[in-house]
Each structure stands twice: as C-alpha cells, then as structure tokens.
Structure 1
C-alpha cells in the first residue's frame, strides 16, 4: 500500500488524498509538517533531499515528491486523464499554471494570513502583491469556467483536482469569489463528484 507523507492542512497535500478518495483506492497518511520542523528532520530528508511535502512512498520503497507529479503518477490510466494527447497536454498546461501563477499567490497569501509562523514575512507589500496575482489567476480560471463545466474537455481531470485544492479555500486568503460565478459553480461540481472528501478527511479517520 502507498503512503502519502504530508500536512493535513496543506492544499498541495490534499490533492493526492482527494484523487485517491475519488478513485476509491486505499492508502496511508503520514503526518509531516514544516511547522514543527518535520520536513527538515534527517529522517525525512533521507526520503527526499528537497524536504518538501507531499511525498509519495510506494509499496516497494520508492519516493516521489511534488504534488502534481504525484497526481500524474496516481492518475495514470484513470478517468481523470484524457485519452487524447492534445487534451492531456492542455490538462498539464493548467497544472503548470496552478504551480506557477495560482499557488504562489492564492496559496501563499492564505499561508501568510493563517500561519503565525509567517507573520514576519506577511508585509503589506507582499499581501498586496499576492492579492493582485491571485485575482489575476482567478480571472483566467473564470474565463474558462464561465462557459464550461471543467477546465479541460467535458469531464473532470487532474487539472480540476490540482486547482480545486487552494481555490476552494481562497476566502481564507482574503479572496472574494462573489464575482466569480463560473468558479463557484465549478467548485460545487467538484464537491458533487462521487467519492469526494473534504480537506480535513484522512483515511481511517
């Protein structure tokens, strides 16, 4: 059985848990957090030198970091990966967008506001910058979702899982989704998927 090492409160760590729930696949969760120094421990760094979570541990002892790489591995051959090569590339484009444009603003601003450990770097300038960048990323999503149910094609894909993780808690970062009707409808469709579990769900809990 695989183990997903991660922090229960992290959106990046929620992504693979959500996918596994949607697929109905068993896995173990091992809590590791940067907040208590767990990701910097010698034992964890032996598993992954970059010291980042989530970290996938396979049943045969291999390790895979990076949330979207984990999604691609776990999603291989499932209904969440389009059959068409170009549609798969479009899915990946949204996943790259998530890590390059969305997460550094929406997720980071949430962290700045929610975690006391980050208070010293939550400067007014950084909060303003991430607010602007986050709203720009949400506008890109809204442009697609105002006229489509899903980010790629006519069915949910890994791109929807990747972007759902932090978008559905964007309000915790001070983002107002009232003006993003397309996004709000999409969020409701994700939560209606068979097997959906919320962020605080852990296997066996």
Structure 2
C-alpha cells in the first residue's frame, strides 16, 4: 500500500497512525502541498480533488479522505466498536470532527504556521468556533476516558490529529484539563509521540 501524504498534515497523520497501530505495511510518499505536489497530472490521476491523504491499495485502487481511509483500514480491528450504537457514535464524532473541529482548529493552525499570521490576524469567528469545539470535547472527556467510553477508537484518532497541536493555531488548552489528559492517554494508546 502507498500513502501519499504530507507529514505536517494531521489528516495524513491519522492514516499513518492507524497503519502503525495495526501493523499494516505501507510505503509513505511525501507530498509537499505547499509546492504543488498534489496538483501534478500524476497525482490528480489518483485523486481528482488534489488532496492528501490518498492511499493506493495493493490492488491499485485509490481511496481519499482521511476518515474514509481510516475506517477502511481499521475494519474488523479494535479501533472500531463492535456494538452498532457505539460504532454509530464513533461515526458521529468522525463527521463532527470534519465539520465542526477541523475547519477551525486546523485552519487557524495552517494560517499561523504556513501563512505566518499572528493570533490577532485570525478570523474571530473561526477562533470562537474552535473554542466551542474544544468546549464540546472537554464536556465529553470529563465523562469518559476516550470518546467512546474506555477504549481508544477512530474517533480519538481523528480528533487527536489537530487537537494535540491546537496551540500552533493559537488555541490554549490551559482550561481544558480533560482534553490534556485525553491527549496523553490517546497518544499512549496509539503509540504516537
């Protein structure tokens, strides 16, 4: 399997972490999105959206979108709950992560790390929504060790990717003790350093 990814992208790291956790062999192909590597004709033939991560399976089929990829890779593993309701709750968090977390936490990080913006230059609405996402996570993690009870799942993989580097987007986790505890627990459970 080949993983086309940018090592600085949380969405790409999700795929790497799942492969590493499940001991799935892969060949990592670094794509520098800032230099246009995802816009070449060769890459666009694999993924017409020109986005990373993209995985090319051993049989030649390509799959994109980080959460779709990790669901495919983790099928039948301990990263996916067996109980149908718990599995649906995991999906609920996966969808929420892409709609209500990543667009704010990751976007602010991108603007500060890659575009050189300061915190004062960030869109105040994105910052507000980022903190709203963190507040929802804090509320859940005050009640459960991981997002789906006591076991790490793909919900934790998805939300860990950008939460652990939220400070790079100007988000301070000082008042979020449950999130800070969860980051350490999730990193340990997933073997992420």
Scaled by the length of structure 1, the TM-score of the pair is 0.90
Match of 2:135 in 1: 139
Match of 1:191 in 2: 187
**Contact kept in structure 2, 1:81 and 1:157, CA below 8 Å:** yes
List aligned pairs for 1:23-102, cutoff 5 A.
23-102=22-101
Structure 1 residue 94: Cα displacement: 0.2
Larger RCO: 1 or 2 (CA < 8 Å, sep 6+): 1
Structure 1 residue 151: Cα displacement: 0.3
Instruction: Give the total of aligned pairs.
Output: 192
**Runs of 5+ consecutive residues of structure 2 not aligned to the other structure:** none
Distance 2:44 2:14 in 1: 22
Distance 1:24 1:58 in 2: 15
CA RMSD for the aligned pairs?
1.5
| Deviations 1:20-46, CA, capped at 9 Å, x for gaps | 111122211001122001111111001
Runs of 4+ in 1 over 3 A off after TM superposition: none
Distance 2:70 2:24 in 1: 13
Match of 1:6 in 2: 5
Match of 1:154 in 2: 150
Structure 1 residue 123: Cα displacement: 8.4
| Deviations 1:87-127, CA, capped at 9 Å, x for gaps | 100000000010000000000000000003x75xx983x53
Scaled by the length of structure 2, the TM-score of the pair is 0.95
